[in-house]
Amino acid sequence: MYVPDKPPDEQAARTWLLSGGEAAIAALELKAGERVSVFEDGVTADLLREPSPTVAAARIESVAAFARAIPDLRHHPPRQLLPAAFADLQALADQWAIPDDAMRSDAVEGSSSEEIDTLIVAVAPRLPEIQAELDSATEPLSDAQLRLQLLAEATAEAQEAISARSLLNRARDDSE
């Protein structure tokens, strides 16, 4: 979960700049009069008109690659661990166990099929085990159990997203 009202982590920003951020900026090959602005919730680019759609698309992709390379520099709450039996899923929980439903949905929708497949392949077979852990818990759930529940919810949403994408692709293929 992000805490948007906190200032950026300036040390993390400096570390990123020194460990490849400057190269990412240079790779943009900005021309005079062009700029890229980085905000907490995204990146904007003011680029000059390009002579061809191919060149314009390449320039836009370079900005998108730059945006993907920027780490989240906002302060994060302390890392919450999963119950010990699910420690192997910790990295996925760090990415997907987002408490805010809308933010989690946005994360799923904004992820590649490969990222979603990784989540589903790792977590879906363990959903019965996760459910048993949550069912055996006393109320209220511990932080670790809540995080596990969020990971399970993200997995279910990812399964729905993959199904929807498959249907869309089939419909697109059928119309061609």
Q: Provide DSSP, 42-79.
A: EEEEE-PPPSSHHHHHHHHHHHHHHHHHS---B--PPP
Using the predicted structure, report yes or no on whether residue 91 has a pLDDT greater than 70: yes
Could you tell me the pTM of the whole model?
A: 0.54
What average pLDDT is seen over the chain?
Answer: 82
- What is the structure's pLDDT at 7? 45
Question: Rounded mean pLDDT of 107-111?
Answer: 88
Give the percent of the chain with pLDDT over 70. Answer: 81
CB 148 within 8 A of CB 96: no
Q: Domain locations in the chain? A: 10-69, 84-175
Using the predicted structure, report yes or no on whether residue 144 has a pLDDT greater than 80: yes
Tell me which residue of 73, 99, 158, 163 sits closest to 123, measured CA to CA. 158
